[in-house]
């Protein structure tokens, strides 16, 4: 087994959001540089091999640790094992982050509408946290994060995003799709594609000033891609990251 291709890491913190959803903090033994929105490949030893899957980073690039949002998927080769790791457990990391699902700073667009399902909110957290740290840059943009989950307990980072939403440049729109399992939820109800159009229009995010980001379930991405295209958004203003095996380099169902 060639361990030289990997960086060793240690789990320093585990936050159990639900029975199957975790926030894991991992401290690598050397820095793993990345750009907000990119993913890092995590691996665990399985006999004489290392089972690996890519996960979007939620932390800021400048910190000593990497943070990931991980869901244990039934039948997954790696995610159930990752979610079961205790603090102090070791993992393997690829030393080079990858991915093109990064913030659009080239178009000059002022508005950025970020839509996520499930763990697809992860890359947006890294972007927003980076902007919070860099106060000089953040006011140049107006950003909306729409996060849809099955139930409110799965709206990872909800409290943090609500806190950031006190800033005039950030809008946070949480939504619950299985309202029959969460009847007390007071916010938006429905899938991401059910509520996105309402908020795009309500915020005044026009087709010539807005980049749309789609991350998570491929069905949502396909539907939303059609919605925003029919609304007049050019393909160059739509960025997509599918979280699905075989469909995306940053799959969350693994």
Rounded (5°) CA angle 102-141-119: 40
Q: How far apart are the C-alpha atoms of 148 and 161, rounded to whole Å?
A: 13
Any domain includes 248: no
Q: How far apart are the C-alpha atoms of 254 and 56, rounded to whole Å?
A: 13
User: Which tokens in the block code for residue 234?
Assistant: 């050019």
pLDDT at 147: 98
User: Which of 93, 126, 151 marks a domain boundary?
Assistant: 93
Are residues 119 and 84 part of one domain?
no
In this structure, are residues 114 and 123 in contact, taking their beta carbons and an 8 Å threshold? no
Q: How many residues are given for the chain?
A: 254
pLDDT at 1 over 80: no
Are residues 230 and 121 part of one domain?
yes
pLDDT at 2 over 50: yes
Q: How far apart are the C-alpha atoms of 225 and 72, rounded to whole Å?
A: 27
pLDDT grade for 248, boundaries at 50, 70 and 90: very low
Q: How far apart are the C-alpha atoms of 170 and 236, rounded to whole Å?
A: 23
Q: How far apart are the C-alpha atoms of 23 and 70, rounded to whole Å?
A: 6
Are residues 89 and 116 part of one domain?
no
Q: What is the pLDDT of residues 166-177, one digit of tens each?
A: 888 899 999 999
Are residues 137 and 52 part of one domain?
no
Q: What is the pLDDT of residues 44-89, one digit of tens each?
A: 998 889 999 999 999 999 889 999 999 999 888 899 999 999 999 9
Any domain includes 32: yes
Mean pLDDT of 12-19: 97
User: Which of 38, 63, 93 marks a domain boundary?
Assistant: 93
Q: What is the pLDDT of residues 198-229, one digit of tens each?
A: 999 999 999 999 999 999 999 999 999 999 99
pLDDT at 252: 40
pLDDT at 135: 60
CA distances from 207 to 38, 196, 200 (A): 25, 14, 10
Are residues 232 and 121 part of one domain?
yes
Any domain includes 202: yes
pLDDT at 23: 97
Which domain CATH number covers 17?
A: 2.40.30.10
User: Which tokens in the block code for residue 246?
Assistant: 């075989």
In this structure, are residues 175 and 169 in contact, taking their beta carbons and an 8 Å threshold? no
User: Which tokens in the block code for residue 159?
Assistant: 């409290």
Any domain includes 98: no
pLDDT at 250: 46
Total tally of structural domains belonging to the chain: 2
DSSP-assigned letters across all residues of 30-89: S-----TT-EEEEEEEETTEEEEEEEEB-S-TTSSSEEEEEE--TT-SSHHHHHTPPTT-
Q: How far apart are the C-alpha atoms of 40 and 222, rounded to whole Å?
A: 25
Any domain includes 30: yes
In this structure, are residues 77 and 49 in contact, taking their beta carbons and an 8 Å threshold? no
Q: What is the pLDDT of residues 107-153, one digit of tens each?
A: 999 999 999 999 999 999 999 999 887 764 556 889 999 999 999 99
User: Which of 30, 65, 93 marks a domain boundary?
Assistant: 93
pLDDT at 140: 80
Are residues 128 and 70 part of one domain?
no
Q: How far apart are the C-alpha atoms of 59 and 15, rounded to whole Å?
A: 14
- Residue 104: strand, helix, or coil: coil
Q: Which domain range does residue 224 map to?
A: 111-242
Are residues 167 and 74 part of one domain?
no
pLDDT at 245: 47
Tell me the pairing of strands 7-16 and 66-71.
unpaired
Any domain includes 173: yes
pLDDT at 254 over 60: no
User: Which tokens in the block code for residue 77?
Assistant: 């080769």
Are residues 127 and 224 part of one domain?
yes
Q: How far apart are the C-alpha atoms of 43 and 205, rounded to whole Å?
A: 40
Are residues 226 and 116 part of one domain?
yes
Any domain includes 100: no
Q: What is the pLDDT of residues 20-39, one digit of tens each?
A: 999 999 999 999 999 999 99
Any domain includes 137: yes
Are residues 121 and 222 part of one domain?
yes
Which domain CATH number covers 233?
A: 3.40.50.80
């Amino acid at each position: 087994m060639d361990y030289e291709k990997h960086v060793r890491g240690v789990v320093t913190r585990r936050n159990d959001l639900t029975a199957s959803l975790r926030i894991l903090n991992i401290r690598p033994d050397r820095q793993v540089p990345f750009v907000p929105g990119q993913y890092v490949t995590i691996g665990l030893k399985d006999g004489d091999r290392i089972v690996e899957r890519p996960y979007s980073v939620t932390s800021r690039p400048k910190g000593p640790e990497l943070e990931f949002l991980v869901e244990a998927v039934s039948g997954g080769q790696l995610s159930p094992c990752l979610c079961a790791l205790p603090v102090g457990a070791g993992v393997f990391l690829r030393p080079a982050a990858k991915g093109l699902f990064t913030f659009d700073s080239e178009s000059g667009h002022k508005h950025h509408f970020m839509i996520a399902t499930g763990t697809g909110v992860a890359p947006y957290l890294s972007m927003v946290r980076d902007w919070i740290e860099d106060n000089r840059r953040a006011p140049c943009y107006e950003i909306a994060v729409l996060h849809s989950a099955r139930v409110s307990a799965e709206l990872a980072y909800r409290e943090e995003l609500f806190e950031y939403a006190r800033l005039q440049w950030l809008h946070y729109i949480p939504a619950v799709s299985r309202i029959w399992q969460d009847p007390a939820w007071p916010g938006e109800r429905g899938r991401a594609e059910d509520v996105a159009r309402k908020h795009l229009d309500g915020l005044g995010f026009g087709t010539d000033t807005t980049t749309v980001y789609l991350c998570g379930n491929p069905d949502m991405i396909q539907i939303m891609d059609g919605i925003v295209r029919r609304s007049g958004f050019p393909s160059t203003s739509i960025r997509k990251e599918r979280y699905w095996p075989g469909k995306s380099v940053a799959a969350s169902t693994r």
